[in-house]
Amino acid sequence: MTKKPLNRLEGNLEWLKNEVKKDQIQLESEKLKFLGEIKKHKKEDIVTIVKVSKKLSLWQKIKKVLMG
């Protein structure tokens, strides 16, 4: 049995606590849903991997700058 709030301030405080609990539950369910959606995709589809090019020598850099 729930006790009656003594005044309007306590009633508002209880309402706020209930809303926070509802929001937390909704947030957790949205997180789980989002994780489920992410797991359906391959890593390569989500993240583009940049290949590291080999280091150019000093002369190769100069040639690249001069030749374009």
Predicted confidence (pLDDT) per residue in 5-59, tens digit = 578 888 899 999 999 999 999 999 999 999 999 888 887 777 777 676 788 899 9
**Residue 3 domain-assigned (yes or no):** no
**Residue 23 domain-assigned (yes or no):** yes
Please indicate, yes or no, whether the overall pTM of this predicted structure exceeds 0.85. no
Two structure tokens written together for 37: 């959606």
**Residue 54 domain-assigned (yes or no):** yes
**Residue 2 domain-assigned (yes or no):** no
**Residue 62 domain-assigned (yes or no):** yes
Domain membership of residue 16 as a residue range = 8-67
Count of domains in the chain? 1
